[in-house]
Each structure stands twice: as structure tokens, then as C-alpha cells.
Chains A and B, each alone.
Chain A
Amino acid sequence: MEDKLKIGDKELDSRLFIGTGKFADYSLIPKVIESSKAQVVTVALRRVDFGTPEENMLTFLSQNIVLMPNTSGARNASEAIRIARIARAAGCGNWVKIEIINDQKYLLPNNFETIKAIEVLAKDGFIVLPYMSPDLTAAKMMAEAGAAAIMPLGAPIGTNRGLKTRELIQILISEINLPIIVDAGIGRPSEAAEAIEMGAAAVLVNTAIATADDPVLMAEAFGQAVDAGRKAYLAGPGATHQFAEASSPLTGFLRNE
């Protein structure tokens, strides 16, 4: 059965997006991508630190991967817009994950600045995937501004605490006519499966894989969990019943009809 995830100009088979931060060694990344079968990976842009220049991330990524540079470090819309344009000029393609954070305590995203950045970048031809705090009104405004998908957080970034915002994400899945991708917070494959099973279009996982004892094996587990979740979603879960036989029937009076 054909079941593709369509975002912007791309049709994807994998519903697992992978972040490339926090890996002990970049050489692990190609193996992680291979074992997880992920097709979309995020990268970040940084000013070169002249003391300790890092290796070029791009050399570890094959040509057929969809790159999704993030705008991490941006504190407002105009910084995010500038970072997105630099990334595109640098050959990262036209996808961008907008991430605007001016809360250094919890690292929660700024939905208002994010909406402003989407408006500009979508008009400029970008495929815009905003990272956001799950809020229906904000998500609607992001969709209107031209977002290609909505990426609500499951829990604060990097916490591995799972789908803490489940109820809010469920509302976005029901109400927003765009792919909902759970970004941040997912700590275990079972949580990734849960998100996909409830109708999320994809999940973005970074910390949980990068900080596992065996990142390559964990990436494979995530890939399989996401597949299982998707199959369960498509299969339609069976009925669970809350009342076996009601003690006080509500429709008994109809027998008089």
C-alpha cells in the first residue's frame, strides 16, 4: 500500500526526522540515518569559532537526504529570516525549521515571532516547518501564514520526557489541515509510536538517539516504532469499552413507544 508523507515538494516514505545535534562523533550520523531509514535530517548554522573549528557537517550527509536547517540561535523573526536565507544560499535547499527561542530557562519557542517569520519565508519560496508550543490559535495563524507543516513540542526540548502535551497535540491533529510533526521531548520509541498512532504525521527525534548508549541501535528502534505506529493508525484501533452493561439505562423509556 502506498502511504507517503507529502510536505511541500517532497514525498517521503519515512515518518522519522532526525536531528544531528549532541552526537559524540559526526561519523555516527550516516550510520544512524541508515539504521533508522530517516530521509529528513536537521542541521544548524553557527558562527565559526576560530579557536576550535568543527568539521563540515554536510560532508557526512548523502545527496538524497532532505536537509532541514534550523534557525536555532534566533531570538526574533528577523534573525530567523536571516539564518534561513544564509542556509539556502549555502546549498541546504529550501526547507527550513523555524526555531525562535528567547527563553533561556525552559527553551520554549516564541510562537508570535515564529508566525512573523513564516509569513516572510513562505512568500520567499521556503518550505517552512515551524517548531512551536502547541496552541490551536497559533497553529491556525501559522497555517494561514503559509507553513507546510506544524511541529509542536511533546515536552521541553532535550528533556526526553515524552508526550506531555498529548491532549493539545491531539487538538492540532483534529483541527489543522497540515501534517503535525511532534518535535522535541520524545524520549523513547514507545512514545514515538504513540504519537504516530494518534495521528501525528511524523516525529523529529534528536536527543533520545544521540545520547543513547548505542545511538545506531536506538535509531533503528525509533524507525521501527514509527512504522508500527503508522500501521496501527492506518489499521484503526479496535473498540475499547468503558461500560459493559449500563446499570441505569438511558433509553429504557423508549420501550413505551
Chain B
Amino acid sequence: MTFNDEAERFQNLNLTNMMERFTPFQIDQILAKSEIQWQEFLGLLSPAATGLLENMAQAAHKLTIEHFGRTILLYTPLYLSNYCVNQCVYCGFNQANDIPRRKLTLHEVELEAQAISITGLQHLLILTGESRQHSPVSYIADCVSILRKYFSSISIEVYPLSTEEYADLISAGVDGLTIYQEVYDQQIYQRLHPAGPKRNYSYRLTSPERAGDAGIRTINIGALLGLNDWRYEVFFTGIHAAYLQNKFPDIEVGVSFPRMRPQFGDFEPEYRVSDSDLVQSIAALRLFLPRIGITISTRENAFLRDNLLKLGVTKMSAGSSTAIGGHTDAIDSIGQFEISDRRTVKEMRETISKAGYKPILKDWHDLNAGRIDETTSVT
């Protein structure tokens, strides 16, 4: 069984109808429970729960501190290549967009790594567009073998791979996978992905499981908010995360809440997701899955990020650039989307500390990875 089967079971339900039937009284009752099932998670995402948002936020805050303490893990993205064969209508790297295409040479990767590691960050997320010609798995592995000298944790956000390919990258030094389904509604998915291998909804949906089978240590999933009714998308993200937690008890599962940002091109999100909707999403997910990691990226502005800090978030990006070579400014290129929070890593660390939280730069070290600077002290 894969999440395909599980998703189908839920896609056959009229979730919108079910959500509309919740009353504020029922939400109040759900908030009193110590364990929350999927039906109740649906309730917390419903319109009726909007009036109890402060109560949800308080409960989410308390649960997060219980499970994670007052900590925020910091990471930064590193874009390796923007070549892409897909035509995701909402994405700046869309094949049809006439933008300069390039990928980092291995020398440039090393320069970027040095620039990032000066900031103290130890967790890195590397990204590429989907192009097996320009950024094949072997290229990603070559990049990783350089990056592992500088970082204790390397996650990939690349096109879906086979179990064997995931295993290859894991043995090259990758420990984390980030892959967003973008939109769980299958019809919308097909409409927004008119061409390229990404049209295969199921293959993308089951990627986290293949990485899990290959032995990945962390998995991060999400839906791109703005492509569909957020209540429906956050619900599916939640049950997907619950499924992965259940299937892989030894994997750290996390969820991101990426909201649509302006990007190159003229796509306008059809669905509005307000700040209050985002807060409801985060709090509902925290109450449903108390141990789940929750990421908020620099897509969101500084004011909002500072306020979301206490609501269940455990991980934030910092010092981000979505452009190829953006950490060294060596190359001028167009980013995948616009960054809102442009604070430096140092500024983020200070902000987090001021809020009474501890910024974490490293929570993982693979003893087998053989990093140059630490091998001797380990043995």
C-alpha cells in the first residue's frame, strides 16, 4: 500500500461538506482532547474554528514547547540549477519562461558553500529544476560530495527519483528530502502542470515513501498555498504527514507552509490565503501531529515570521536567495520567487534569541560522513 490508496479514500469524501457542518461548540470540545483523529483535524481547519483561533494558538504553543522546547532550527537554500523541462504555470523556472538558464560548476558550488558556512549555518537545502540532462543525479551527487565538507546536514529538493537514486544520493551524503506535492487536488494538479514528467501526480505523491524505503533520515512535505482551497490542501498535507510518520516511525517528518509569492511570469494565485488562515493551518496541524516539524520560509515577511515563531514553527530558513549563485552574488540571475524576509543569518539569530528562543544551527552529525574538519576528533 502507498499513500496513493490512502489519498483516494479521502478524495472520495465530501470534505468541504463535512467541514461546513462543524459548530464552534464542537471545536471547543475538540480542543479539550488529548489525542486528535483526522475527523477532528478537519474540524480544526473548518470555518467554525476561525472564531477559536486564539485558543488553538495557545494550545499549539504549549504543545510545541512540550515537544521541541523553545528552539528554532535555521537552514538556507542553495539553488544549483534552474534548467527545467516542466511548465508549472506558477513557477519562475517554467520551461516556457525566457530567463537566463544556468547551473553552478563544482567550483562555484564550493564558493557558495564557503560563503554560506561563514554565517554559521550547518543545515543546507539544495535545489534544482527538473532536467535529467543538465542536472542529473550524478551531478547532484558530485555537488553533495563537495557540500558535505562544509555542512552537517544536506537535504535535497529536486525532481522525484527512484528508490535506487535516492539510495545513491543518501550514500553520497544526503540525509533529508523536501518535496512538495504543490496541490493535492488531482484535477487542479493536472491543469497547473500541462507538460513535462511532473504531470505524473502519483509518482510525485509517492516520492517520500521511496526516499523512506531508501533510508532517508528526514522528510519534509507541503502544499503550495494559493493553488486551491487551503483547508482542503492543509488537510491532505496533514494526513500525508501522519501516514509517513506511521509508516516510518524512525524518520523525522516535517511540513512546510509555502504561500504563493510573486515570481517571474504572470500567474496570479486563484485562492487567497490570509495570515489568519496560515495561523489556523499551523495551529491545526500542531494539534493533530504534536511531534511534526513545521517550517516557515523567507517567503513570509519579517513581521509575520516573528509572530509565527511561537505558534508551532520549529524550523526557519535564513539568509535565503532563490537565484542560482545567489549566496556569492557572483552571477546575476532571476530567482524562483521573491524573498520577503531579507534579514541576514546574524539578524535572524538575534531576533530569535530576543523572543526567548534558541536558534539552532546544527542538530545532526553523521559520524560516517567523514567531514574533513571533524574526522580526527571523532576517532
CB of B198 to closest CB in A, whole Å: 34
Cβ 8 A contact of B35, one of A174, A238, A241, A257: A174
B28-A249 in contact (CB<8A): no
Docked pose: A137 CA to B8 CA in angstroms: 28
Instruction: Check B279 for interface membership: any CB of A closer than 8 A.
Output: yes
CB of B370 to closest CB in A, whole Å: 31
Instruction: Check B240 for interface membership: any CB of A closer than 8 A.
Output: no
Contact with B along A240-251 (1 / 0, CB 8 A): 111100100111
Instruction: Check B276 for interface membership: any CB of A closer than 8 A.
Output: yes
Docked pose: A89 CA to B55 CA in angstroms: 59
B279-A254 in contact (CB<8A): yes
Instruction: Check B378 for interface membership: any CB of A closer than 8 A.
Output: no
A253-B303 in contact (CB<8A): yes
Instruction: Check A170 for interface membership: any CB of B closer than 8 A.
Output: yes
Instruction: Check A239 for interface membership: any CB of B closer than 8 A.
Output: yes
B168-201 residues at the A interface, CB under 8 angstroms: none
Q: Which residues of B contact A250 (CB under 8 A)?
A: 54, 57-58, 61, 307, 310-311
**What is the count of residue pairs linking A and B with beta-carbon distances less than 8 angstroms?**
43
A239-B35 in contact (CB<8A): no
Q: Which residues of A contact B61 (CB under 8 A)?
A: 250
Instruction: Check A237 for interface membership: any CB of B closer than 8 A.
Output: yes
A251-B279 in contact (CB<8A): yes
Instruction: Check A91 for interface membership: any CB of B closer than 8 A.
Output: no
A170, A236, A251 — most chain B CB neighbours (10 Å): A251
Q: Which residues of B contact A237 (CB under 8 A)?
A: 32
CB of B232 to closest CB in A, whole Å: 22
B32, B274, B304, B310 — most chain A CB neighbours (10 Å): B32
Chain A: number of interface residues, binned into ranges: 10 to 19
CB of A125 to closest CB in B, whole Å: 26
A243-B276 in contact (CB<8A): no
Q: Which residues of A contact B53 (CB under 8 A)?
A: 251, 254
Q: Which residues of A contact B55 (CB under 8 A)?
A: 243
A240-B32 in contact (CB<8A): yes
Contacts A236-B29, A243-B55 given; does A253 touch B34 at CB 8 Å? no
A170-B35 in contact (CB<8A): yes
Contacts A236-B29, A239-B28, A239-B29 given; does A249 touch B54 at CB 8 Å? yes
Q: Which residues of B contact A254 (CB under 8 A)?
A: 53, 275-276, 279
A237, A243, A254, A257 — most chain B CB neighbours (10 Å): A254
Residue of B nearest to A257 (CB): B275
Residue of B nearest to A173 (CB): B35
Contacts A251-B279, A253-B307 given; does A170 touch B34 at CB 8 Å? yes
Docked pose: A246 CA to B58 CA in angstroms: 8
Docked pose: A156 CA to B57 CA in angstroms: 40
Instruction: Check B104 for interface membership: any CB of A closer than 8 A.
Output: no
A223-239 residues at the B interface, CB under 8 angstroms: 236-239
Residue of A nearest to B55 (CB): A243
Docked pose: A70 CA to B36 CA in angstroms: 35
Contacts A250-B310, A251-B279, A254-B279 given; does A238 touch B54 at CB 8 Å? no
Q: Which residues of B contact A257 (CB under 8 A)?
A: 274-276
Contact with A along B27-68 (1 / 0, CB 8 A): 011011011000000000000000001110110011000000
Residue of A nearest to B304 (CB): A253
Contacts A250-B310, A254-B275, A257-B274 given; does A239 touch B58 at CB 8 Å? no
CB of A22 to closest CB in B, whole Å: 35
Cβ 8 A contact of A239, one of B31, B54, B62, B274: B31
Cβ 8 A contact of B32, one of A137, A170, A239: A239
B34-A251 in contact (CB<8A): no
CB of B65 to closest CB in A, whole Å: 12
Q: Which residues of B contact A137 (CB under 8 A)?
A: 249
B292-321 residues at the A interface, CB under 8 angstroms: 303-304, 307, 310-311
Contacts A/B (CB < 8 Å), 24 sampled = A137-B249, A170-B34, A174-B35, A236-B29, A237-B32, A238-B29, A239-B29, A241-B32, A242-B62, A243-B55, A246-B54, A249-B54, A250-B58, A250-B61, A250-B307, A250-B311, A251-B53, A251-B57, A251-B276, A251-B279, A254-B275, A254-B276, A257-B274, A257-B275
Sort A-B residue pairs by CB-CB distance and give the 3 closest, nearest first.
A239-B32, A250-B57, A253-B307
Chain B interface (Cβ < 8 Å from any Cβ of A): 28-29, 31-32, 34-35, 53-55, 57-58, 61-62, 249, 274-276, 279, 303-304, 307, 310-311
Chain A interface (Cβ < 8 Å from any Cβ of B): 137, 170, 174, 236-243, 246, 249-251, 253-254, 257
**Other CB < 8 Å A-B pairs besides A240-B32, A251-B54, A253-B307, 16 of them?**
A170-B35, A238-B29, A239-B28, A239-B32, A241-B32, A246-B54, A246-B58, A250-B61, A250-B307, A251-B276, A253-B304, A254-B53, A254-B275, A254-B279, A257-B274, A257-B276
